[in-house]
Amino acid sequence: MLQENNFELGGLGDDGVQANAQDGAGFNNANFATPVDGQRPRCRMYLWNNHDPFLDGDFDSGIIIHEIGHGVSNRLTGGPNIVGCLPGGQSGGMGEGWSDWWAIALQQQESFPPNMAFPMGDYVVAGGIRICACSLLPAAPPLPACRLYVCLLFCLHYLVCLFGAAAYSTTV
């Protein structure tokens, strides 16, 4: 999944991510197109024109992880050949939340205090691109903080669904 060679461990290869840095198709965003297993996904990272000079979203690892997260959740929710299960509304919001959670979780360091706020995309937008930042404990002002355990509950729910889908796909 999302790699050229799966080393005979299942799934189709030849679908490494085509990642476009400073893609010219837009500004102030990024996106990830996820085709079915065996077809190459495309990640497009844009410049942010809310600064002078423009900022490059490629320098925010959280945004890149978030976008790759869309590829993972789109491929695994519904199975490798059904990638349209998270189109918008509640399911789309869950996809956004999972991607944010991965981005925040993969950037954690042992030295971080538990009340530290982790805004998404704070390199390109001061304070982040979401209405609140995630934190294990209520974050210090001025950032309002969502509780990380809410994110964890969503993640646990997702993992249960994920393993269920994997078990289903290997037996059918």
- Report d(CA 27, CA 88) in Å as an integer: 21
- Reduce the DSSP state of residue 170 to 3 states and report it: helix
> Please, what is the minimum distance in Å from the beta carbon of residue 31 to Zn ion?
7
Q: Which is nearer to Zn ion, 43 or 139 (CB)?
A: 43
> Please, what is the minimum distance in Å from the beta carbon of residue 66 to Zn ion?
5
Give the CB-nearest residue to Zn ion.
Answer: 96
67 is catalytic: yes
- Reduce the DSSP state of residue 11 to 3 states and report it: coil
> Please, what is the minimum distance in Å from the beta carbon of residue 171 to Zn ion?
31
CB-count exposure of residue 70 (10 Å: 0-12, 13-18, 19+) = buried
Given the rule CB under 5 A, which of 92-100, 114-122, 128-136, 159-167 is the region that contacts Zn ion? 92-100
Q: Which is nearer to Zn ion, 74 or 135 (CB)?
A: 74
Q: Which one of 8, 67, 96, 110 is the catalytic residue?
A: 67
Given the rule CB under 5 A, which of 50-58, 98-106, 116-124, 144-152 is the region that contacts Zn ion? 98-106
Answer yes or no: are the C-beta atoms of 129 and 100 closer than 8 Å. Answer: no
Report DSSP state, residue 30. Answer: E
> Please, what is the minimum distance in Å from the beta carbon of residue 70 to Zn ion?
6
- Reduce the DSSP state of residue 45 to 3 states and report it: strand
Report DSSP state, residue 146. Answer: E
Given the rule CB under 5 A, which of 14-22, 47-55, 89-97, 112-120 is the region that contacts Zn ion? 89-97
Instruction: Give the total of residues touching Zn ion (CB under 5 A).
Output: 2
Name which of 163, 135, 140 is nearest 150 in CA terms. 135
Answer yes or no: are the C-beta atoms of 4 and 18 closer than 8 Å. Answer: no
Residues labelled as active-site residues:
67
Binding site for Zn ion (CB under 5 A): 96, 99
